[in-house]
Chains A and B, each alone.
Chain A
Amino acid sequence: MKKLTIANCLLLISLLFSCGTDPVELPQGAYEEGVLIVNEGAFGANDGEIFHFDVASGEMETAIFEKVNNRPFAGLIQNMLVFGDYAYLVANTGKVEIVRSSDFMSMGAVEGELVNSRSLVTAKGKLFISDWGAYDDNYQNPDSFIAVVNDPTGGTIANTIPVSSRPEGLTYFGDRVLAACQSEGQLLVIDPDTETVEKTVPVTGTPFSFFDYGGKLYLYATDAANVYLHEIAPGGFEIADSQAFSVANSIYNGSFTLTDGGEIFVISKQESEDVVVKLSISSGSVIEEHFYSGNNFYGLGYDEATQTLYIGEHAGWQGDGSVLRVNSGGELIDQMPAGRGPSGFYFP
């Protein structure tokens, strides 16, 4: 009887405690259309994720990396870059996840020696990953490097190339890997075969990333008062031409977006609001100082198909952010929930 009483108590307690979860299956090729939204994630939470927006149906699919791979991304996504069949999710928490871009199935990863990885480019069958390295006591990054991985589907780091502090954007141009290094405002030219720095070119402003327009390569850079577009000469990788646009306090993460017509949208963090400013490469001037404004703007993207500007909004980092869609006239189309800190957009 005593044993029965104890057994009953145990049964009662055990019935109080139980739980379970189920995986989710997705069709292949689900992400070859629509908009992929890069949600950076919040510092200290590692909740970066990719969302998918179906423009036709208007449906937002959340956390596709976790859904497909049955595990969280668990990092802060600095960049998502697509080369060939693969999308590379570069986390500044020290890893690169490689997924098949059509369905986001995990194909591999680069882990280990990465510390604060920023961007990535493929060249000569290798991966080149910019990494700030660890912070020192003065919050500087004297041990920045570019990691080299010999397999485009990831694996171990074969070599690290010491570079100027805080390498950010990378590109492959003229048979060379170019790196934008922020602390000293430099453009580095790296031979992908020998994996050595061949040349250092000083640039005005803090350089962020590269883009192609009209058959030319540009380097996007900023300072407190201006946005700079530096045209890179294909021969000697010198600065062939520079344009300065008067845009104060452009956003610190260097987010901007380019249209096929050579217009560039940037975010200006002003005293009481965030303003999207429109620039023109062809005219070399600000063509709309106040294209659209609001608060907590964090990332930009432009959908050529629908002539729509996508603005990521971080909601004060108190929770998930949202995406604002703005038409070519600067009018809000709609606003929809996104993930934590939407910082970038990719249009497959």
Chain B
Amino acid sequence: MAKVTVFLWLGLTPGFSQDFSADTLDLTAVEVRAKQLQKYAYGQFVRSLDKERLTQMSGMTLGEALQQSTGLFVREYGPGMLASVSMRGTSAGHNALFWNGLPVNSPSLGQADYSIFTMGGVDQVAIHYGSSGTRYGTDAIGGAIHLDNTPDFGKGNETRVNTRLGSFGRWDQELSHRYGGDAFSFKTSLYRNFAANRFPYTDWASAGTPTRVQDHAEVTQMGWAQDLAVKLDKRQSIEASFWLNEINREIQPLLGSSERDQQLDWNIRGVVDYYHRRDKASWNVKAGLVRDKMRFNQEENQTLLALLGAELDWEPADEWQSNTGIRLTHIKGNLATYSREEQRLELYQATNFKPLPRLGFSLQLRQLIHDGEPVPFTPGLGAAWSIFNQEDQEWELTGNISRSFKVPTLNDRFWVPGGNPDLLPEQSWSREAGLNHSLKGSRLHIKNRLAYFHMAVDQWVVWLPKGTFWTPENVRKVVNQGLEYFFESEWKSGSWEMGLDLDYAFTRPIIESDDQDQSIGKRLPYVPEHKVQGQLHAGRGPLSFFIRGQKTGKRFVTTDNRSSLPAFALWGAGVQYDFKFSPWLKGDMGFSAHNIFDRDYQVLRLRPMPGRNFQFNVNLVI
């Protein structure tokens, strides 16, 4: 096991601050890899979802998991339908999604469908809030989300059978086997998730507003996720992951429409990492492939992304850490109206400097060459200062300023008709300041983070009608400002363990310039000004309970802000029981209720969502 010096965040579940005491810990190789997301992010906020909670979410989509576990606003076109994430008021294409370090935003659409990614295929979810283009490249203007798989060496064999039954015809199944030897580990996971989605809804589009049952929103998803890891020797290892996924969806029609669209997505993703670690330096070479095929009715679109990268992480001195990398990406698109290939070359450098034990800086630099043309140079600088650090309490100030970008998508440039090959990359300058606090009492743990952010996104691409077709242009500038507050607490009372988590986001994205005068000074549509999420949980022995609530504020529907959707609040609650029938058979079972008060709500206009519903899950571990 490599013994390396890392700078730990206080916890992987909301990691509020970096501990500058430079703990020396024994970490597995994959743990080191996971920490890389946080390592060069002084002044920024990276948060990982609790692994235990992820296990409970087996069968859920990434969109559902984020909606239930974080304060992020997930734009859902219906249960199991297209879902995208809005981070800090940006649009769907301004957030980068990665799977084991591979960018999986569609190169043709420039965004990811968070309903395609099921939690059964990943072990870890990390969210990087705010501008992170300097670390991850294109699209990461509002933030980035990372899905990772983490092999467990030395853990032996474990077979899991997970089943979830839910209202309206939901049945999720997952069978997985994990083996972790001293030098070899693998995990095989097979899943099938089905949702008939035959939920009742009020048909506001019909005279008399009758209650109908949704009859065109069935989702069938199945897949195979495979992870392999081999330790070649004490310093070298190879890790590989493969994910085959298919999801077939009846597209839930808008209220008032009679469409019966069908969408079938096939996704093949594969990645191989080679690691070579030394005490003060480590190498990583990565090769990956993402192939997406999407058939919408009879129209078929295919994209291929192949990535080859290498990076060196080293510590030239105690105060310095350095990460230098190069990434070559080849993209090929065979879309309904065009075929195109392109190359991207990226060079990046991240440097940590820690002049004082409680003060650290991160400097990030990135240059992307897009089809031979350099996009604007992307720098970033962050700092974290632990202003008060006692054994039981810490206060920390953080700050960051950085640039990010988004290269125009294939469709933006080449769609026929209308594609605009002269589009410029969207660019942003972002700055944020945060205050982190943690309290560690004998019975009470509290973490707080309050952050202010300001982001100006320029050259924003908007599709506009030009004669008989539409074409994209760099016409909009948006300034986002807001506050984020995160609270996490745990306390013990007798034999009870309890916790309260709260996320709150205040977001105000204002259009500063636009093709349409009436939009200037207005807020971006479908960004709630307020979003709050809370969860209270309590457990005693094998039994645990939770109560969860969230409120999503009013959302404007169009850029002129003349129409809006009302705020909605949702409540959920559940109980879980951990059992152990024998040394070789254990597991847990849970029952949960969602939208308890049966709110008739729409995340997006005229797209009804399910009312009160229940889920029952059993997870067996053999």
Contact = CB atoms under 8 A, between A and B. Distances in A.
Interface of B is mostly: loop
Interface stretch (A12-20, A80-88, A184-192, A208-216): A12-20
Contact of A45 (B297, B465, B557, B568): B557
B566 A19 contact: yes
B209 A16 contact: no
A66 to B, nearest CB: 9
B569 A19 contact: yes
A19 B256 CA distance: 25
A8 to B, nearest CB: 11
Contact of B536 (A13, A16, A72, A137): A13
A314 B465 contact: yes
Contact of A46 (B255, B532, B562): B255
A38 B462 CA distance: 26
B467 A316 contact: no
Contact of A318 (B462, B467, B532, B538): B462
Contacts of B209: 71
Interface stretch (B138-146, B180-188, B199-207, B614-622): B199-207
Given A9-B500, A44-B254, A111-B206, A18 B569 contact: yes
A319 B560 contact: yes
A145 to B, nearest CB: 14
Contacts of A109: 206-207
Nearest to B522: A319
B326 to A, nearest CB: 40
Interface in A52-110: 62, 71-75, 91, 93-95, 97, 106, 108-109
B450 interface: no
Among B254, B256, B298, B467: residue with most chain A CB under 10 A:
B256
Contacts of A269: 467-468
Contacts of A106: 207
Given A6-B536, A14-B549, A16-B532, A315 B518 contact: yes
A77 to B, nearest CB: 11
B605 A315 contact: no
B56 interface: no
Contacts of A73: 205, 256
B518 A319 contact: yes
A275 B562 CA distance: 28
A320 B516 CA distance: 10
A173 interface: no
B257 to A, nearest CB: 4
A315 B516 contact: yes
A75 B256 CA distance: 5
A72 B567 contact: no
A290 to B, nearest CB: 18
B493 interface: yes
Interface string A279-316: 00000000000000000100000000000000000111
Nearest to B561: A319
Given A2-B493, A6-B538, A17-B571, A320 B257 contact: no
A72 B606 contact: yes
A138 to B, nearest CB: 9
B578 interface: no
Contacts of B465: 296, 314, 316-317
A296 B464 CA distance: 10
Nearest to A94: B258
B13 interface: no
B600 to A, nearest CB: 11
Nearest to A112: B258
B257 A93 contact: yes
Contacts of B563: 47, 320
Contacts of B344: none
Contacts of A6: 498, 536, 538
Interface string B120-145: 00000000000000000000000000
A125 interface: no
Q: Which of A114, A154, A318, A320 has the most C-beta atoms of chain B within 10 angstroms of its own C-beta?
A: A318
A17 B467 contact: no
A200 B10 CA distance: 79
A35 B297 CA distance: 41
A340 to B, nearest CB: 7
Contact of B205 (A95, A115, A318, A320): A95
Interface in A32-54: 44-47
Interface of B: 204-207, 209, 254-258, 297-298, 462, 464-465, 467-468, 493-494, 496, 498, 500, 514-516, 518-519, 532, 534, 536, 538, 547, 549-551, 557-563, 566-569, 571, 605-606
Given A19-B568, A74-B204, A109-B206, 16 more contacts: A2-B493, A10-B536, A10-B547, A16-B534, A19-B567, A46-B254, A46-B256, A71-B204, A72-B204, A72-B205, A72-B255, A74-B256, A94-B258, A154-B207, A318-B519, A320-B562
12 contacts: A2-B493, A17-B532, A45-B557, A47-B557, A94-B256, A154-B207, A315-B518, A317-B465, A318-B462, A319-B559, A319-B562, A337-B562
* Complex A-B, nearest 5 residue pairs according to Cβ-Cβ distance, in ascending order: A74-B256, A17-B569, A319-B560, A74-B205, A94-B258
